[in-house]
Amino acid sequence: MTKYLLLKHYRGAPASVNDVRMDQWAPEEVTAHVQYMEDFAAKLESTGEFVESQALAPQGTFVRSDGEGRAPVTDGPFAETKDLIAGWMVIDVENYERALELAGELSAAPGAGGKPVQEWLELRPFLTETHTCTE
């Protein structure tokens, strides 16, 4: 089994087919989208392929160490994750082909007008081993 991250984006990915921002959806459209996500996760729980999922709020701040006792905070000019990452799901599947299949299914969550969003999801395998150079 291999773990994969299915990463949902606010922006930064190619435009989806049903490219209407969620903050412009009717409340029942948001509810239908969230229900699809919950049903999808429940289906994967039943097959043992679900690990976890989280939605993220758009607020966020970059923080770094700038010496002892100081932590500078900035709101730009960087492309920040609060502007990019909407949420994620972690799956644990037999192979890459199954991960692709599930990512495609998740991409079909309903959006504005009840039509599938067909959003682009970033699919990334977890790093499982570190290679060491012996020469």
Per-residue confidence (pLDDT) for residue 135, from 0 to 100:
63
Residues of the chain with pLDDT under 70: 10-12, 60-67, 71-84, 129-135
Name the strand (E) or helix (H) holding 81: helix 81-84
Nearest-angstrom CA–CA distance, 19 and 86: 15
What six digits make up the tokens of 110? 């309903």
Nearest-angstrom CA–CA distance, 46 and 33: 20
- For the chain, what is the mean pLDDT? 83
Contact yes or no for 117/18 (Cβ under 8 A): yes
pTM for the model stands at 0.75
